[in-house]
Amino acid sequence: MPVSAMHALLLPDIGLCPFGWCAFSNGGSICRTLAVCGVVLRQQCEMQGGCATCRVSIRHGSVALTPRSSVENRLLGCARALRLACQCHVRCGACLVVVDAV
């Protein structure tokens, strides 16, 4: 996989992301990064963290992401692998993101 010095979000679904990854820079939210790659997540709260419709599973590399916020903890409970794509930002590194429902 041709991952450069940029970071990458890896998507396991060839139909959603033909190259299997999306490049992004530090600080970008998963939701915005996926949108740039053409993967638009459902969201009812306009990325305000109020609905949990943009939830994704982080299968690997959660240390590359910002810590869960109190909003995420309230909406997602103890499911540690789940994150809100609109609230979760990339700090550094790479992570494997699974989009549950698009």
Per residue in 27-57, pLDDT (tens digit) is: 778 888 888 777 777 777 877 888 888 888 8
Whether the Cβ atoms of residue 48 and residue 64 lie closer than 8 Å to each other:
no
Please give the domain boundaries of the chain with CATH numbers for all domains. 7-99 (3.10.20.30)
Average pLDDT along the chain? 76
Sign of CA dihedral 87, 11, 92, 34: negative
Query: Model-level pTM?
Result: 0.75
